[in-house]
Amino acid sequence: MTVVPASSGGWRTPDALLTREAAGQTLSERYSERMSVYDRQILLPTERSPSTVWSCLPIVILALVFFLVLGIGGVYAYRQVHQNRIYPGVTVLGLSVGRATRAEAEMALRAYVHNVRQQPLRVRVPDEVPPITLMALGLDAADEEILRLVDDAWWVGRDLPLGSWLMSQFRLLTRGYVVPGALTLDSEQAREVLQQLAEQLSREPVSATLRVTNSDAGFVSLIERSQPGRQLKVEETLLRLQRSLAGQLPSTLDLVLEELPVRVTEADLERPRAAVDHLLQSPLVLRAGDKTWSLEPDVLFSMLDTEALATEQAAPVARLREDKVRAFVASVAADANDPPGTPSLELTDGAIALQSGRAGAALDEAAAVRLVMGQALTEQRLLTLLMVTVQATLSEAALDLLLRQAGQRLTQPLVLRHASREWVLEGQALLDLVILQPIESATAPIAPATLPDLEVALDQAQVEAFIGAEVAAAVAVRVELARFALRDGRVEVSGGSSGLMPDGPATYAALAAAFVSQDRAARVAGVQARPAHPAEVAVLLEPLRQQAEQLAARPVEVSYGAYTWPIAPADLAKMLRFRQGADGPEPYLDPGRLDTHVTAIAVEARQRALGPQTADGRRRPVDVARTAAAIREAVQASVRVVPVKFVAAEDLPPPDPAPDLSAPWIPDR
């Protein structure tokens, strides 16, 4: 039906227009009227009637009720469908279990965990590593844990008020939900696997090194590049692994690797390399007077201090070894020095005389060592060494002092005592222990043109040598209670000790104090003793051990016919004892223990009816004493086979000995 606006402001139907046509209007008039009506509609909007709006309200209400009923029904149907199923959007350990029943979710989760535990993890390192699985790392997949996770998933979105339920379902469908929780990890097992991996992946830093090679063209120095180290942080990696298990099963193993810096870089070796190049480019010439000595590059190379260039040093430096330079300078000094005739004391016709010497020249070795050490690694290749003049003559005051000291200290005997022993040093014997040493030699510098003032003193080295050669034997430690043991074919000797050893420095100090005294009664010094050190005891025991090893190192075989009784080295070691011989302690076989061993052989021989017979048919027993003596002789000899010695027929007891009595040479056991 077509609706046309009317002139009164309302709406007209086409029937009204037909009424006007019936009134006799022409077609053009009707058209003009219609156009004017539409024009008025545009210019004057028609107002709606309130009755029209209220007429649509029931339709709206019905629509709302319809959609409400439809929504409630849909919610009810949705809840009914998932009454025994997990809501969509729920994931457990990275596995979606939405719309699955508990049994289905449990089965799927168990299979999923089993497969993931078997699969190797991706390890993001450049090196090749053996396959590592979650199972190897100790991931626990217990049934009760699977059931707990499935139960947590099933309860997601349940038992909520309607409003909260709708919001939870909206979030599940739009964002999903990860069930919190993780499978447990055996930390000790994982730590052990990671520790093994750390041993494979860890790499020590490699410092830059300076390598010097000798080729046909000469020495060539090269710097080998450094390489930083690497260390697997086991605890941090384990913590990261445990965190990655939260709500999922990881497919990768993220290792925490720490880079270890190098100690020495290429830049640290540039200056040492330049110094080495200067050192080895040409010979180093040393000059002293009219003599020269040449250090060739190969000799200089052997003097390089490799420890100072080692990568373990915080700051590698190129330098020469001072001990080798000092040894070379000493050889140069031996060739360059012109020894002076030094003063000396002599005993002539019972009188002490001082013989003067001539002047000489000597190389200043300390200055030469410093010069070579400081200039050898520079471009300077010619070094001039310093020679100093040594005057053998003494000043009048020094000469008078020496003569007075010689008269005071050398004309009276010097006595050394220990217990009842006494050593008297006089004449040439005392003079042999004397030197002329500079006064305050520790602090006074050596004058270049003359000798320093000298004094008559005891030579400590000579005095200690005298004590070791003449005195030590009377004071030396005496070994007691030595014990022998055989270990791995070697005889070891241990034991207590008592006594003292001469204290060389202390005895020298006592003699030196008595030496400067002018009182004859005060020129007596006692031997200063000290407890023996373990090393000294070991030295004293070493000859004893060697002798004992000769006795017990090899077995002894006691035989009679086809029967043999071996005595093993361990048994011989148990028999060893020691005694003080003329030359000190010496080992020997304990007669009692040896007789016991031989007696056992004699008893066995009697039980087996071994041994020769007499004319009247009696079996001769083993002669324990003679057999033991033969064993003692055998251990001293290279051939260690001892035949059993039997008692001679004339030494046998009467044919019918008293009952219940054993022969005296075979004791009852």
- Are both 92 and 235 inside the same structural domain? yes
- Are both 151 and 15 inside the same structural domain? no
Dig out the tokens for 487 from the structure: 């270990």
Cα angle value 567/572/576 (rounded, 5°): 155
- Cα(319)–Cα(278) distance, integer angstroms: 12
If phi > 0 it is left, if psi is from -120 to 50 it is alpha, else beta; for residue 416 that is beta
- pLDDT value, residue 497: 62
Q: How far apart are the first and last CA of the chain?
A: 149
Average pLDDT of the residues of the chain:
78
Percentages of the chain per state (helix, strand, coil), in multiples of 5? 45, 20, 35
- Cα(566)–Cα(555) distance, integer angstroms: 7
In sequence order, which residues have a C-beta less than 8 Å from that of residue 411 and are 6 or more positions away? 352
Domain annotation covers residue 614? yes
- Cα(138)–Cα(117) distance, integer angstroms: 9
- Are both 15 and 114 inside the same structural domain? no
* Residue with tokens 């690797």, as numbered in its chain: 257
Is the pLDDT reported for residue 40 higher than 90?
Answer: no
- Pairing outcome for strands 576-581 and 497-498: unpaired
When pLDDT is averaged across residues 517-535 and rounded to a whole number, the result is 85
- Are both 198 and 121 inside the same structural domain? yes
- Are both 32 and 140 inside the same structural domain? no
- Cα(300)–Cα(564) distance, integer angstroms: 68
- Are both 606 and 651 inside the same structural domain? yes
Q: How does pLDDT run across 154-196, given as a tens digit for each residue?
A: 888 887 787 788 888 888 888 888 888 778 888 899 899 889 8
- Are both 15 and 111 inside the same structural domain? no
Domain annotation covers residue 160? yes
Domain annotation covers residue 26? yes
- Are both 70 and 21 inside the same structural domain? no
Domain annotation covers residue 400? no
Strand partners, 257: 232
> For residue 573, what is the domain's CATH number?
3.10.20
Share of the chain above pLDDT 90, in %: 10
Is the pLDDT reported for residue 9 higher than 60?
Answer: no
- Are both 35 and 161 inside the same structural domain? no
- Total domains present in the chain: 3
- pLDDT value, residue 21: 43
Q: Are 134 and 114 in contact (CB under 8 A)?
A: no
- Cα(406)–Cα(347) distance, integer angstroms: 11
- The alpha carbon dihedral of 149, 155, 157, 161 has a sign of negative
Domain annotation covers residue 398? no
Domain annotation covers residue 356? no
Domain boundary among 244, 262, 280: 262
Q: Are 414 and 515 in contact (CB under 8 A)?
A: yes
- Are both 27 and 138 inside the same structural domain? no
Is the pLDDT reported for residue 648 higher than 90?
Answer: no
- pLDDT value, residue 584: 61
Q: How does pLDDT run across 290-342, given as a tens digit for each residue?
A: 889 998 888 888 888 877 777 666 677 888 888 999 999 999 988 888 877 66
Domain boundary among 247, 262, 277: 262
Q: Which domain holds residue 36?
A: 4-43
Domain boundary among 262, 282, 304: 262
- Are both 101 and 242 inside the same structural domain? yes
- pLDDT value, residue 499: 65
Domain annotation covers residue 288? no
- Are both 16 and 75 inside the same structural domain? no
Please give the backbone phi and psi of residue 352, each rounded to the nearest 5 degrees, phi first.
-90, 125
Domain annotation covers residue 126? yes
Q: Which long-range contacts (CB under 8 A, 24 or more apart) does 18-27 make?
A: none
